[in-house]
Amino acid sequence: MSLLPEPDFGTPAADADGASPPLTLAIDGIEVVVPAGTSLMRAAALAGVAIPKLCATDCLQAVGACRLCLVEIDGRKGTPASCTTPAEAGMRVRTQSPRLTELRRNVMELTLSDHPLDCLTCAANGACELQDMAAAVGLREVRYGLAGAHHLADPRDDSNPYFGYDPAKCIVCFRCVRACDEQQGSFALTATGRGFATRIAAGTGGSFMDSDCVSCGACVAACPTATLIEKTARATGSAERAIATTCAYCGVGCGFLVEVDGPPDTPTIVRMTPSKQGQANRGHACVKGRFAWGYATHQDRVVRPMIRARITDPWREVSWDEALRHAAGEFRRIQREHGRDAVGAIVSSRCTNEEDYLVQKLVRAAFGNNNVDTCARVCHSPTGYGLGQTLGTSAGTQTFASVDKADVIVVIGANPGEAHPVFASRLKRRVRAGARLIVIDPRAIDLVDSPHVRADVHLQPRPGTNVAVLTALAHVIVTEGLLDEAFVAERCERQSFADWHNFVARPENSPEALQAASGVPAARVRAAARLYATADNAAIYYGLGVTEHAQGSTAVMAIANLAMATGNLGREGVGVNPLRGQNNVQGSCDMGSFPHELPGYRHVSDAATRTAFERAWGVDLLPTPGLRIPNMFDAALDGSFLGLYCQGEDPAQSDPDTRHVQAALAAMECVVVQDLFLNETARFAHVFLPGSSFLEKDGTFTNAERRISRVRRVMAPLAGMADWQVTLALAEALGYPMQYRHPSDIMDEIARLTPTFAGVSYEKLDRMGSLQWPCNDAAPAGTPTMHVGGFSSRPGGKGRFMIAQYVPSDEQTTSRHPLLLTTGRVLSQYNVGAQTRRTANVRFHAEDLLEIHPHDAEQRGIADGDWVGLESRAGATALRAEVTARVQPGVVYTTFHFPESGANIVTTDSSDWATNCPEYKVTAVQVRRLARPPARAGGAP
């Protein structure tokens, strides 16, 4: 139970289909109108009448177990449970009567007969539903005493780092079990025993840490007592207020309440609970957002500015003023000596929209060039290009809720269970309800085959061959008459469709012909194509396993082709849905952080757009593109790019071919790093400006649904300035002052200059909770579903098919490097781990491992847990092996969360043809068993 609970209507809202008219009934004489299918309990809550309850909560389906919510209905016998009784027209319901009071007191008495009456010392004191219900029913004594059988001595399970389980306090309401089943879909909890002996158990009865529990916290949020409660809440007691904000981890963008106690600038965080009002997550969370926020106050935070003349010198703490003057002076010196274009900036998808906007403005207006790029370069830049070329808008087409209406779901190159867990829970819920699932992934990710979700078809391409598979799927759709010809005729360009049709219909693009390249049996491709194309509603979800390839942009366009060809766009349940890796990938792209685009994806060569910004900013803007991140590093090595402002990003760890990146950084004359911690890039920095966490500032993030949500300050910036203020101060030191009093002023400017954001303001965000762009006069409440009725950003409103020819990657296996390495993420760690490695999440995943197939392991004499050397043409590193059939023979896999394992030491400079997004997913490597742990590898014994 939340210490500061949001309203709980007892049962979920009815799934109103619009076919049945609303019902009118009376609760305690109060008339109320509700949708058909609404429970009496919810109807009562809507009428302002609270019915006592214990097992019911509006996040979960009602089960009618606790018998506390009994009511009387005129003309009916008995006292039915209001949570499981649907409202009917004309019903007259009483929630209070002497008989109901007596029944409820008896229920409470029995419940409390096996509960420690230690309220004054209980962590949930004052925020306990059991306590509240005892008061509500007027319980004054428990006649049964505690002399009989009880569970008060049951041992506590504190194995989980974030929450404890105290079975002595458990009232066996099953809310935790149901939350795990219905919300999270892990089915990790169960009830053992029968009758009085019934107990809640994790897994088969061991500890939470040994079970399938993924620590999402749904059970903790659902628990009405202190049985399952956060350890921080145990330690700190009740919160006095809560601040609504948005998670700073993945691109789902969950809404949270930060519960705090103490002074406004330096509060103690009691806990973070997922908000039911969060329009992306609806009260659900994952182990990162829910629990892994301790990094914000970790002892490693650097909170004083520092400078040094050379990267070999020790750091020297200085004032903000000195640090900013030094940085600005160095940038101006470099420009004087090496030209205007010798400096630039990298912004982070972890920063807010307002911060990203400010940095690109600083680069364009103060530096006077377009050398600004975002870390979206190395993840979803192909999405921006590919969807822009085909559908006209560089963004996903749906809401997350849209998946609830999908009949066939395709997941390609994404592992949402690990990387987008809250959306994954929703997707799995839809699959459990009957939707068919196609997974296209070189690995057997959990969605392929887990206890409650199984893919109907798993296509397992060799890394680097997505386009071959997607084109083969298109071939089947075209040659087997599975096109939605009416959609294509009405909504798409005639000529580009004809060209694409002719191309994919060629025999060389058949599944049989492409099988040799992709390794995917043709029959499976045909089965997948038929399943996708014949569904009423089919939706494609994809991730970095699509974009981070030499043909990343081609694959995105091939996906858009499939959706257009089958008419799966422009309504709920369908669409093309990029799953963005970081919290604000979408936003950083929207904000003009790419070197060729001003905010709103408008090319710098567009004179009208440039003129609008020139007038607003009072400067002349360059009409030619700036350097992208990989180009910056190449230019640094040839001596023409020597100054970098790097905000919230760590390319020395996150970008491919580490040796090359580090050499480039070392060649620069002024690297300014603005971050929470002294990250890997800071090793090459001359100026360190302390960053602020998402808890320390106001702003907005835009998630993968194009949903703009507010980030609200919970505490004062530890270093005295929020990131947006630091950028303002740097701009001023550069001689280009910007006048903003608050991030809302920045958003107002964005709205004035960016048509898709024209209707966005903090006032409207506060009023509506969130907004999905485009939000303007044509769509004042935002746009949940894109391309309804037409592709409005395309010429003539017509979708454009693009020919997507498979071109083999330059990264091919050889006798020297006979395996293909692909990379990914785990649930508990986030990107380069700078945040999550500084939390107890290391208990779940403490090092990067190399997954290798048993066949390849046996050939090399490698056993599970052995140290292995991993070598590519770019470099070599070492880590421990995990022998598993999740990967196919010939393929190895690892994550990149720990700098000591250095996955990016081996990834190469191969990149997407259109955007330079690195080909992280395909690297030819060799793996050898090491006789002993390497001296440099982390986690070595």
Partner 1 sequence: MNAAHLIRMANRIGDFFVAMPDREQAVRDVADHIARTWEPRMTRDLRAHVAAHGDADLSAIVREALVRLPP
- Is 916 near partner 1 (CB under 8 A)? yes
Nearer to partner 1, 236 or 911 (CB): 911
Residue of 709, 910, 934, 660 lying closest to 808 (CA atoms): 910
d(CA 493, CA 737) in angstroms, rounded, equals 47
Cβ nearer to partner 1, comparing 35 with 463: 463
Q: Which stretch binds partner 1 (CB under 8 A): 21-29, 269-277, 320-328, 495-503?
A: 495-503
Beta bridge partners of 540: 410, 576
Closest distance to partner 1 from the beta carbon of 378 (Å):
15
Whole-number minimum distance, CB 128 to partner 1, in Å? Answer: 59
CA 677 – CA 853 distance, rounded (Å): 37
In angstroms, what is the minimal distance from the CB of 640 to partner 1?
6
To partner 1, the closest distance from the beta carbon of 808 in angstroms equals: 10
Binding segment for partner 1 (CB under 8 A), chosen from 194-202, 249-257, 299-307, 625-633, is 625-633
User: What is the token pair recorded at 716?
Assistant: 């004062």
* Residue 915 in the binding site for partner 1 (CB under 8 A): yes
The interaxial angle of helices 494-504 and 466-479, nearest 10 deg, is 100
For 555, the 3-state DSSP assignment is helix
Cβ proximity to partner 1: between 441 and 669 the closer is 669
Q: Is 914 in the site for partner 1 (CB under 8 A)?
A: yes
* Residue in 886, 879, 894, 884 with CA at minimum distance from that of residue 929: 879
Interaction between residue 781 and partner 1 (CB under 8 A) = no
Region from 35-43, 414-422, 622-630, 726-734 binding partner 1, contact rule CB under 8 A: 622-630
Please tell me the distance from the alpha carbon of residue 253 to that of residue 908, in angstroms, as a whole number. Answer: 31
How many beta carbons lie within 10 A of that of residue 236, not counting itself? 19
Encoded amino acid at 438, one letter: I
Eight-class DSSP state of 474 = H
Q: Considering only 290-298, 321-329, 624-632, 850-858, which stretch makes contact with partner 1 by CB under 8 A?
A: 624-632
The least distance separating partner 1 from the CB of residue 385, rounded to whole angstroms, comes to 9
What are the C-alpha distances in Å from 759 to residues 663, 704, 754, 765, 862? 45, 19, 10, 10, 59
Of positions 527, 612, 803, 876, contacts partner 1 by CB under 8 A: 803
Nearest approach in angstroms of CB 558 to partner 1 is 12
Site membership for partner 1, residue 456 (CB under 8 A)? no
Sign of CA pseudo-dihedral 459, 463, 465, 467:
positive
Structure letter (DSSP) for residue 314? P
| Contact between 627 and partner 1 per CB under 8 A | yes
Considering beta carbons, is residue 776 or 805 the nearer one to partner 1? 805
Q: Are 25 and 36 within 8 A, CB to CB?
A: no
Assess 372 for contact with partner 1 (CB under 8 A).
no
With CA atoms as reference, report the closest residue to 639 among 311, 329, 338. 338
Total binding residues toward partner 1, as defined by CB under 8 A = 34
Q: Which residue number, 638 or 777, has a Cβ lying nearer to partner 1? A: 638
Smallest gap, in angstroms, from Cβ of residue 480 to partner 1?
Answer: 23
Of 659 and 752, the one with the shorter C-beta distance to partner 1 is 659
Q: Kindly write out the interface string for residues 640-679 of this chain, putting x where it contacts partner 1 by CB under 8 A and - elsewhere.
A: x---------------------------------------
Q: Which stretch binds partner 1 (CB under 8 A): 65-73, 561-569, 619-627, 822-830?
A: 619-627
Residues 589-608 that bind partner 1 (CB under 8 A): 595-596, 603, 605
At 96, list the tokens: 């209070």
Instruction: Report yes or no: 424 and 827 within 8 Å, Cβ to Cβ.
Output: no
Helix (H) or strand (E) holding 590: helix 585-590
- What residues have CB less than 8 Å from 313, skipping those under 6 apart? none
Q: Which is nearer to partner 1, 565 or 827 (CB)?
A: 565
Comparing CB distances to partner 1, the nearer of 446 and 909 is 909
Nearest approach in angstroms of CB 554 to partner 1 is 6
Kind of pairing between the strands at 923-929 and 819-824:
antiparallel
Are 590 and 599 spatial neighbours (Cβ–Cβ below 8 Å)? yes
**Token pair listed for 832:** 């380069």
Query: Which residues are paired to 164 by β-bridges?
Result: 229
Structure tokens that stand for 896 in this block = 């990149």
CA 563 to chain centre: 23
Single out the residue of 15, 17, 141, 638 in contact with partner 1 (rule: CB under 8 A): 638
Nearest by Cα to 219 from 294, 274, 159: 274
Q: How far is the CB of 799 from partner 1 (least distance, A)?
A: 17
Task: Supply the minimum distance, in Å, between the C-beta of residue 817 and partner 1.
Answer: 18
Q: What CA–CA distance (Å, rounded) separates 458 from 436?
A: 12
The answer to the question of residue 846 lying near partner 1 (CB under 8 A) is: no
**Residue list 320-359, contact with partner 1 (CB under 8 A):** 341
Distance CA 459, CA 375 (A): 30
Whether the Cβ atoms of residue 622 and residue 370 lie closer than 8 Å to each other: yes
Query: 646 Cβ partners below 8 Å, 6+ apart?
Result: 345, 346, 671, 672, 673, 674, 675, 681, 685
Instruction: Work out the number of other CB atoms within 10 angstroms of the CB of residue 789.
Output: 10
Stretch that binds partner 1, among 145-153, 647-655, 911-919, 926-934 (CB under 8 A): 911-919
CB of 397 or CB of 471, closer to partner 1 = 471
Give the shortest CB-604-to-partner 1 separation in angstroms: 9
Bridge partners (DSSP) listed for residue 498: none
626 binds partner 1 (CB under 8 A): yes
The binder of partner 1 chosen from 50, 63, 517, 637 (CB under 8 A)? 637
The angle at the Cα of 808, spanning 802 to 814, to the nearest 5 degrees, equals: 170
Report yes or no: 216 and 209 within 8 Å, Cβ to Cβ.
no
User: Which of the stretches 7-15, 574-582, 637-645, 880-888 binds partner 1 when contact is defined by CB under 8 A?
Assistant: 637-645
Distance CA(593)–CA(361), nearest Å, equals 9
Span 550-579, contacts to partner 1 by CB under 8 A: 550, 553-554
Using CB under 8 A as the binding rule, whether residue 283 contacts partner 1 is answered as no
Binding pattern for the stretch 498-527 against partner 1, x by CB under 8 A and - elsewhere: -x--xx------------------------
Cβ-based nearer residue to partner 1, 625 or 939: 625
Owner of token pair 């949020």: 221
Distances (CA, A) of 568 to 386, 391, 476: 17, 12, 16
- Among 635, 746, 775, 892, interactor with partner 1 by CB under 8 A: 635
909 binds partner 1 (CB under 8 A): yes
What tokens does 304 get? Answer: 């004083």
- Tell the smallest beta-carbon distance from residue 333 to partner 1 (Å): 20
- Interface stretch with partner 1, choices 95-103, 139-147, 392-400, 632-640 (CB under 8 A): 632-640
In the list 900, 913, 928, 929, the residue contacting partner 1 (rule: CB under 8 A) is 913
Letters for 865-904 (x = contact with partner 1 by CB under 8 A, - = none) are: ----------------------------------------
Nearer to partner 1 (CB atom), residue 132 or residue 912:
912
- Helix orientation angle between 466-479 and 552-565, rounded to the nearest 10 degrees: 20
* Beta carbons within 10 angstroms of residue 508's beta carbon: 12
Stretch that binds partner 1, among 32-40, 477-485, 831-839, 912-920 (CB under 8 A): 912-920
* C-beta separation of 733 from 668 below 8 A: no
> Residue numbers of the site for partner 1 (CB under 8 A)?
341, 370-371, 499, 502-503, 550, 553-554, 595-596, 603, 605, 624-628, 631, 634-635, 637-638, 640, 803, 805, 807, 810, 909, 911, 913-916
